[in-house]
Structure 1
Amino acid sequence: MTTGALHVLRPGRAALGRLLLDAGALSPEWLPVFAAVDRDDFLPDVIWPWDMEHRAWLDDPGRSWPV
């Protein structure tokens, strides 16, 4: 799976809020807070996916660890 394919599978911010509401993982009173907080402040610059079959991180050889 390529990075482009992963991006297509990820919901946008509004869609993610709706999915969380529909799943009962986010209550309606928390929706304004969810919408106001920028998740970029909490995510690392680089995230390597976990391969459950091989029990290892999938390292992208085209990337390097952030300094």
Structure 2
Amino acid sequence: MTDHIGSIFGTAEDGRLFRAARGGHVLTKEYGATWKTARLSVLTEVKAQTPLTENPWSARLAGVSL
């Protein structure tokens, strides 16, 4: 586990990084907002606006193809 996860954010009891406010699973309708918050927290403004970061699937597909 990386330091920032262990000391700042933590994980859900089952190890998930993304969890709802009360610790449960993020609902489908909430997933987009959660992803947007996460990417804006870790990427520069320019990188956060690229199409590859619009959703986690695009980033995954780009990684696989590279």
With structure 2 as the length reference, what TM-score do the two structures score?
A: 0.26
Higher CA-based Rg: 1
Higher RCO (Cα < 8 Å, 6 or more apart): 1
With structure 1 as the length reference, what TM-score do the two structures score?
A: 0.25
